[in-house]
Amino acid sequence: MRIRSAGLLAALTLTSLLAACGGGGSTPSATGAPGGKTVVIDTAFQLKTTDPARMFEPTGLLIDRAIYDTLLTFNGSDVTKPVPALAESYTAAPDAKTFTFKLRADAKFSDGTPVTSADVVFSLNRVKNVKGNPSFLMDGLTVAAPDPATVVVTSEKPNTAVPFILPNPALGILNSAVAKKNGASDAEGADKADTAESFLNSQSLGSGPYILDSYSTTSQVVLTVNEKYWGEKPAYAKVVVRNVQANVQRLNVLKGESQIAVDLSPEQAKGLDQLQTVNGASPNVFFVFTNDNPEISKISSNPKFQEAVRYGIDYQSLVDLAGEGAVQAPGVVPSVFLGALPGSDGVVRDVAKAKAALAESGLQNPTVKLSYPSDVQVNGLNFGDLAARVQANLKEVGINVELAPASVQAALETYRGGTEEMGLWQWGPDFPDPSNYLNFLPGQLVGLRAGWAEGAAPALEELGTKASTTVDDAERAGLYVDIQHSMNEAGPIMPLIQPAQILVAAKSVQNVQSNALWLVNVRELG
């Protein structure tokens, strides 16, 4: 789970309640000639704002991706290779500290103003200094503009992830002159001085193919075509993104009242043969940890107990529970990212091995408490259903698991505090680069939440340090493979599954693709 963003799980809960009230509205379906059509997208809103500096929720990413250009982007569903956007080219220094971008000469904002390096510097510094949910994307980075067509991004330390971070729609480029006139600031103290959010929720200041026509966090957001867009004109003149709960999404797309449904579970997506379905593994990774801190639990911190849990879980049964399109997570890095393990490298259940490890632990009929958030779903999957399956699996090994569901607010407190004896959580990518998963190592963000202190696994930590400073992608990929193999052999964190990410769409809509960052590639719909 993106626990960096303030209360995303809490936001999921709130927006799912709001979505329960959303019936859709009377927006017309896609009709007319190319260039004059409307496409209606139904999704359960996870939306607080369309101001890029304050936006880091899934629906906001979908919307801002259509409105704002970034220096680099990703094509289609491929997040393994950043490609040019506002920057027509870039170079990375061998030490991965300096990245130089040459801007397109033809890019214009929706009012016809040319995009310059000053706009880029303003926009990225604003994200940093407003200190909203996405500000961590700019941690350790500084931005300069040596001339109107050049941007230099400098990192305090080697950071090979920079080209994978910059495509995030939260780093979309604003028309700085208009933004400043309406309360925007990129200076230190902007977290108090910047007052542009309301303005940016009423109209957009981007250079993307769409502009913001109307905005509501509870009903719908309407985008219309940007007539001054510098790139290829989009196929649809209007995009309507509606706040609709999943079961109603299914009915709407069946009846033709919408063209795309974003949030159907594998079960809900069955029997829709008259529609097209894009079904693949989500980049979200569910995982279990057993707290490695003996002060929290002498049971969960026992290495042989951890081994018993690792081999006692029936991973295939969890995949079956999650439904068609879900896969076992063979490591913490999702299958669509650089450095991911092949599916064949995942841990395979071995009850005999698990029982032998438990016997070696010296623990007799141990009982542990498994904590998880009870009031949210991810990709249509309840944490409680997964927890009950893990409980049943480990019972067969001789481990008694007491389920400890809690509201997301309460569960986040114990999770962040590192006090859960066992935890069942999920991590969604902050950016599609394996370096984001160094958080799982000892002494890092998730590692500490699992009681895995710095120094607990020196060889593994050395691999992590090397991976964080290695520039060559082939070498990086090999290091992340080694890291995950090591984590699969020992340690308190066990990756479980990647649930299915499903888009259901009318057959009239072309090029429907899901993306790990912005769910639906609105720009590329045909």
User: Average pLDDT, stretch 260-287?
Assistant: 93
* Residues 402/366, Cβ–Cβ less than 8 Å: no
Structural tokens at position 403: 């389920």
Answer whether residue 71 is part of any domain.
Answer: yes
Domain check: are 218 and 305 in the same one? Answer: no
Give me the number of domains the chain comprises: 2
CA 390 to chain centre: 25
Residue 473 within a domain: yes
Residue 487 φ/ψ, nearest 5 degrees: -65, -30
Question: For residues 438 and 469, is the Cβ–Cβ distance under 8 A?
Answer: no
pTM: 0.85
Domain assignment of residue 2, yes or no: no
- Residue 403 in any domain: the answer is yes
Q: Are 406 and 440 in the same domain?
A: yes
Shared domain check, 129 and 46 = yes
Beta bridge partners of 72: 84
Q: What is the pLDDT of residues 35-68, one digit of tens each?
A: 479 999 999 998 999 999 999 999 999 999 999 9
- pLDDT tier for residue 14 given thresholds of 50, 70 and 90: very low
CA distance 135 to 125: 9
Q: Are residues 344 and 250 in the same domain?
A: no
pLDDT interval class at 511 (50, 70, 90) = very high
Which CATH number covers residue 253?
A: 3.40.190.10
Q: Are residues 320 and 196 in the same domain?
A: no
Average pLDDT over residues 508-519: 93
State the CATH number of the domain containing residue 374.
Answer: 3.10.105.10
Neighbours of 88 (CB within 10 A): 14
Domain that holds residue 450: 285-498
Task: Please give the pLDDT value at position 369.
Answer: 98
Supply the mean pLDDT for the chain. Answer: 92
Above 70 in pLDDT, residue 361?
Answer: yes
Residue that wins the pLDDT comparison between 13 and 211: 211
Q: Mean pLDDT throughout 274-283?
A: 92
| Residues in Cβ contact with 203 at an 8 Å cutoff, skipping those fewer than 6 apart | 211, 212
pLDDT value for 297: 98
Average pLDDT rounded to a whole number, residues 181-205: 98
Measured CA to CA, the distance from residue 140 to residue 128 in angstroms comes to 10
- Domain presence at residue 1: no
Q: In this structure, are 473 and 378 located in the same domain?
A: yes
Shared domain check, 394 and 459: yes
Residue 401 within a domain: yes
**Residues 385 and 242 grouped into a single domain:** no
Tell which wins on pLDDT, 35 or 481.
Answer: 481
Question: Do 222 and 364 fall within a single domain?
Answer: no
> What DSSP string describes 371-433?
EEESS-EETTEEHHHHHHHHHHHHHTTT-EEEEEEE-HHHHHHHHHTT--SEEEEEE--SSSS
Residue 3 above 80 pLDDT? no
Q: How many residues does the chain have?
A: 526
How far apart are the C-alpha atoms of 253 and 247, rounded to whole Å? 10
Same domain, 316 and 269: no
Poorest-pLDDT segment among 22-36, 39-53, 190-204, 493-507: 22-36
pLDDT score, position 23:
37
Residues 229 and 297 in one domain: no
Mean pLDDT for 217-221 is: 96
Residue 119 shares a structural domain with residue 238:
yes
pLDDT number for residue 29: 43
Of 351, 343, 450, which Cα lies nearest the Cα of 393?
A: 351
